[in-house]
Amino acid sequence: MDFDLPDGHELLRRTVREFAEGEVAPVAEALDREKRFPYEIVRRMGELGWMGIPFPEEVGGAGGDTLAYALAVEELARVDSSVAITMCAHTSLGTQPIYLFGTDEQKAQWLPDLTSGRRLGAFGLTEPEAGSDAGNVRTRARLEDGEWVIDGAKQFITNAGTDISGLVCITARTGEDEISNLIVPNGTPGYEQGEPYRKMGWNASDTRPLTFTGCRVPEANLLGPRGNGFKQFLHILDIGRIGVAAMGVGLAQGALDQALAYAKQRRAFGRPISSFQAIQAKLADMSAEIEAARLLVYKAARLKDAGRPFTLTAAQAKLKTGRLAVRCAEEAVQIHGGYGYIEEYPVCRFYRDAKILTIGEGTDEVQQMVIARALGA
């Protein structure tokens, strides 16, 4: 069993790390404070091919795999989660449905702009009464004169309201016992993006509610066979959990990096606090837990890339890394003491950003259900 990354993957890791440290880190605090979307950073990531890492070159992607994608997400989250989730939601949730379930015509129309990062994709699943109970979709779409007429609402949707947003793939009830997925382009009459939420964290990412009022899209905007929406979005969520798990590892590693650097330079009682056993124990536990979680994420990515079942491992990785990110961020703040509560220090932002990783892409409780069912319980 080889635990070393292939040369190409290691090169990608180093490249993304240099980009994150050189171009993202200097502006991350300001973007968060000003709640400003990182347009220039997203543009650069698109030019570098990172907004389409796991997609084949023939559809405009970088020709990479899930492991390469997870590495890039991890390195971005190590510095800033808002940038990481922008890439993550675009790739796993916005672009994957069209790549996996779209017709040749849909792929030709949308994938070149999405995989290049010229346009952002979004995925509209969550509703006021359909969160963890994802099958309780209330948004409806009826077929009328060759068009789908959509009425309903979505909430907590990422990437739908920026100036470069291109489309949202939504779940809608197309019959009493039938859920389907539909492509709704930005600018479609009857499709409105609400004001951005005021959030605890991820302040530089775009998250807002969506409403559909008599919104009409062509019948050809149906994704895959009618009525396959439930099965489709479960598969999309499985894939998305690998990306969010990579975010958890990255945030935890970033928290450890910051805590270690601070502990080595902060002096108390005449010596660096890193020499105190209590601080060393915190750092050691964080390091061991991060390494174990990282291997679990990479296993999930490798299973998917090998075409093997990965639902269980992705849920385990998501559950493990979300909790770990919260714990490591808290410990990093504790090691910083009073400075950890000051916004100028990255660990304060990490602390706020971490909690959503136990909620988004399926709560911890949902992951436990997925894991238990996979075990046959």
- Distance from C-alpha of 235 to C-alpha of 96, rounded to nearest angstrom: 10
Within 10 Å of residue 47's Cβ, how many Cβ atoms? 12
Question: Is the C-alpha dihedral spanning 153, 159, 160, 162 positive or negative?
Answer: positive
| Long-range CB contact pairs, 289-294, < 8 A, 24+ | 289/252, 289/324, 289/327, 289/328, 290/249, 290/252, 290/253, 290/256, 290/324, 290/328, 292/320, 293/245, 293/248, 293/249, 293/252, 293/317, 293/320, 293/321, 293/324, 294/74, 294/249, 294/253
> Pairing between strand 120-124 and 165-175?
parallel
Tokens of residue 110, six digits: 């949308």
Residue 18: active-site member: no
Question: Is the C-alpha dihedral spanning 206, 240, 327, 25 positive or negative?
Answer: negative
Q: Which of 47, 289, 361, 365 is catalytic?
A: 361
- Distance from C-alpha of 83 to C-alpha of 164, rounded to nearest angstrom: 15
Asked whether 90 and 120 are in contact (CB, 8 A), the reply is yes
Within 10 Å of residue 98's Cβ, how many Cβ atoms? 24
Q: How far is CA 278 from CA 90, 271, 273, 275, 333, in A?
A: 41, 14, 9, 9, 14
DSSP state of 130: B
Asked whether 49 and 63 are in contact (CB, 8 A), the reply is no
- Distance from C-alpha of 228 to C-alpha of 75, rounded to nearest angstrom: 35
Asked whether 84 and 250 are in contact (CB, 8 A), the reply is yes
Q: List 140's β-bridge partners, or say none.
A: 151, 173
Coil vs helix vs strand at 223: strand
Asked whether 183 and 106 are in contact (CB, 8 A), the reply is yes
* Residues labelled catalytic: 361
